[in-house]
Amino acid sequence: MAVGTLFLIPNTLGAEGRAEQLPWVLPAATIKQAAKLKYWIVEDAKTARAFLKAIDSLVSLATPLQEIEMQEWRGLSQQAKYNQKTPPEKLLQALLAGHPMGLMSDAGVPGVADPGAEIILAAHRLGASVKPLVGPSSILLGLMASGLNGQQFAFQGYLPNQASARIARLKKLETESRRLRQTQIWIETPYRNAAMITACLQSLAPETLMCIGIDLSLTSESIQTHTITEWRKRFPNENTYAELQNRPAIFLLLA
């Protein structure tokens, strides 16, 4: 029996007005393919069901939502935290039976800043076809809109939580950016946005360019690029950027 195809299904970047977002951020072909799938591996089942419910409002699901089979996967590093040892191959049994499967993250595209990479690699090992579908990526959207160097860039994931380690990493990224003329990109847990902005304003050189993208692809989207000197004028204290706290953000710098 032929092995099925693993479809990488992008999610919206925010939950607000998801059904209204879908025609804006996902091509019709991506929406139609998502509606066909019965077997899924997802980061969070509740989020995935909300996404599929929104899909159903546009294109009827081939399988009723209550009959769709979902397995959760949060990555090997998260499993180690909870002493779980489920191999990714174990979640791909539907593929081996010849069925197509969908892989979905909580937001954005699977496999990028996302634990889905282990599932994708396991699918390759099983000889399955892997089909990435088009959808929103905060990394690429932020880079596109930043005005910073799109020819040479690096994504750094999350920076350290501890204040002194965070500042040390920022300075290192700034040095690398200056040496290579390379845009540095990273994300942060929304509730630490204020701490990240404070660290940037305290530690980066005045002439360094920094872009902050908030709520990308949503109606509340904000993308601005300024020098650190200009950001300090705009944000003279933490109260002035309190509204950015708890909102999905991406950060970019070019020294």
pLDDT at 244 over 60: yes
Region 5-132: CATH code: 3.40.1010.10
In which band, very low, low, confident or very high, does the pLDDT at 161 lie, cut at 50, 70 and 90? very high
Confidence of residue 81 (pLDDT cuts 50, 70, 90): low
pLDDT tens per residue, range 175-198: 999 999 999 999 999 999 999 999
Out of 2-6, 12-16, 87-91, the most confident range is 2-6
174 CB-near residues (< 8 Å, 6+ apart): 184, 204, 205, 208, 253, 255
Distance CA(194)–CA(238), nearest Å, equals 7
Average pLDDT over residues 81-107: 86
The pLDDT of residue 79 is 54
What integer pLDDT is reported at residue 166 of this predicted model?
A: 96
Q: How many CB atoms lie within 10 A of CB 211?
A: 21
Domain assignments of the chain as residue spans, ordered by start: 5-132, 138-254
CA distances from 5 to 50, 98, 102, 167, 228 (A): 23, 8, 9, 44, 47
- Domains 5-132 and 138-254 belong to one CATH topology: no
Residue type, 241: Y
Confidence of residue 95 (pLDDT cuts 50, 70, 90): very high
67 CB-contact burial (10 Å; exposed 0-12 / middle 13-18 / buried 19+): exposed
What superfamily would CATH give domain 138-254? Tetrapyrrole methylase, C-terminal domain (3.30.950.10)
Q: Which of 95-104, 224-233, 235-244 has the lowest mean pLDDT?
A: 235-244
Looking at residue 40, its pLDDT comes to: 97
Q: What digits encode the pLDDT tens for the residues 127-156?
A: 999 999 999 999 999 999 999 999 999 999
Read off the pLDDT of each residue in 91-118 and give the average, rounded to a whole number: 93
C-alpha distances out from residue 117 to 15, 21, 39, 208, Å: 23, 26, 18, 33
Tokens (6 digits) for 106: 């909580």
Inform me whether the pLDDT recorded for 14 exceeds 90: no
* Contact assessment for residue 246 and residue 191, using Cβ atoms and an 8 Å cutoff: yes
Least confident of 108-112, 157-161, 239-243: 239-243
Long-range contacts of 52-60 (CB under 8 A, 24+ apart): 54/12, 54/18, 54/19, 54/21, 54/22, 55/22, 55/31, 57/19, 58/19, 58/22, 58/23, 58/31, 59/31, 59/32, 59/35, 60/35
**Per-residue pLDDT averaged across 9-38, rounded?**
93
Query: Does residue 206 carry a pLDDT above 70?
Result: yes
Residue 84 has a pLDDT of 57
